[in-house]
Amino acid sequence: MSATENLLTTPLNTLHLELGARMVPFAGYSMPVQYPAGLVAEHHHTRTAAGLFDVSHMGQLRLTGPDAAAAFESLMPVDVIGLGLHKQRYGLLLNDEGGIIDDLMFVNRGNDLFVIVNGACKHGDLAHIQSRIGQRCTIEPQFDRALLALQGPQAVTALARLLPGVEQLVFMTGMPAIWQGADLYVTRSGYTGEDGFEISLPASAADAFARALLAQPEVKPIGLGARNSLRLEAGLCLYGNDIDTSTTPVEANLNWAMQKVRRTGGARAGGFSGADKVLAQLGGTQPVQRLRVGLVGLERVPVREHVELHNEAGQKVGEVTSGLLAPTADKPVALAYVQAEYAAVGTRLNAMVRGKAVPMEVSPLPFVPNRYHRG
């Protein structure tokens, strides 16, 4: 009882309760884990129509000032300066050992850098960013703003009825919009592998906007349970499970997120926290001991986080960090860290589930093809 009393609520709390959501504590908030339709139905609805997610627990920040992009670049192995107007990019805050403090999304909005970070990390991220670059730019947390995601192949149809023009966005771009007098910022992005949008808006407009979306025939509310199964099928990392301060971007198989301009030989190589280690790992002078991989189960047994992975000889060579019986892929899937020599696609490993060996195979990611709208 006391645990729930201390929880924060999002601007959609009344709506969640009205919709019959089962609420759980998550990142300090009371959040809907599922609605009466249930996790699997919500998962399939998102893959076939459009699902509405309340992700208002996530942290929104603005960085402003002439030096903001250069300053933000000093925290991440990512090209911030070269990002075009209203373009969005995936970023990684690193500590001085190259470990991942958080993963995030940011947009160049011209007058600011708009950053979205994980809910459970937002206060730590803010303190980190303030302490490292607070002298070089203005950092404005907007933790009171709401964030909604509308995901799925029919998301564009539903959202364009409320916000004409969003259909012209392509994946990883954004635009400002006004709805009933409220300032919105919309990006074509998400955490499901589907086409879709994320909408930042004032808390005061969130309930009415969410109800307007739910009134569209394509749209149903989706809880955190399906959000997790959708992101895992899309091969996307969950901070705290699949990446954390003990994993580097190279170990996490996130090399694609580190643009050439920041790598050895690039015009702005290095100069970010943890660069010595990360660049040495990228260049191969400091080979990684373990790598994040995807695994598919060869038997219909779910394999969950913390399950050990053994080689043919019965030695532990890795551990699962996320895993479930995937509703769309229709088989067990997992993300895991394995010793580098077991990371090749097709490698057979045994997952030790309740003392029994369940065969799995290293698989390409994602487990379900992405369907982003690239224009």
Partner 1 sequence: MSLKYTEDHEWINVEGNVAIVGITHHAQDALGDVVFVDLPEVGKSFAQKDVAGVVESVKAAADVYMPVTGEITEVNEELRNDPSLANSDPLGRGWFFKVKLAQPSEVDALLDETAYNKFSAG
Q: Please, which residue, 318 or 327, has the CB nearer to partner 1?
A: 327
Q: Please, which residue, 87 or 304, has the CB nearer to partner 1?
A: 304
The number of beta carbons lying within 10 Å of the beta carbon of residue 2 is: 5
For residue 338, which phi and psi values (nearest 5 degrees)? -130, 155
325 binds partner 1 (CB under 8 A): yes
**Residue 48, both tokens:** 């076939």
- Residue 118 and residue 238: Cα distance in Å, rounded? 9
**Residue 254, both tokens:** 């996130």
The interface with partner 1 within residues 15-44 (CB under 8 A) comprises 33-34, 38-41, 43
Whole-number minimum distance, CB 30 to partner 1, in Å?
17
Residue range at the interface with partner 1 (CB under 8 A); choices 62-70, 208-216, 223-231, 274-282? 223-231
Name which position in 187, 228, 321, 363 contacts partner 1 (CB under 8 A): 228
Residue entry with tokens 């001085």: 96
The b/e string for 187-218 (b: 16+ C-beta within 10 A; e otherwise) is bbbbbbbbbbbbbbbbeebbbebbebbeebeb
Whole-number minimum distance, CB 51 to partner 1, in Å?
15
* DSSP at 173: B
Q: Please, which residue, 212 or 325, has the CB nearer to partner 1?
A: 325
* DSSP at 237: P
354 binds partner 1 (CB under 8 A): yes
Count of residues touching partner 1 (by CB under 8 A): 18
Whole-number minimum distance, CB 39 to partner 1, in Å?
5
Phi-psi region of 226 (alpha: psi -120 to 50; beta: other; left: phi over 0): alpha
DSSP H/E element including 95: none
* DSSP at 87: B
Residue range at the interface with partner 1 (CB under 8 A); choices 47-55, 206-214, 247-255, 319-327? 319-327
327 binds partner 1 (CB under 8 A): yes
298 binds partner 1 (CB under 8 A): no
49 binds partner 1 (CB under 8 A): no
CB 334 within 8 Å of CB 351: yes
Name which position in 87, 304, 310, 371 contacts partner 1 (CB under 8 A): 304
234 binds partner 1 (CB under 8 A): no
- Chain residues in the site for partner 1 (CB under 8 A): 33-34, 38-41, 43, 225, 228-229, 300-302, 304, 324-325, 327, 354
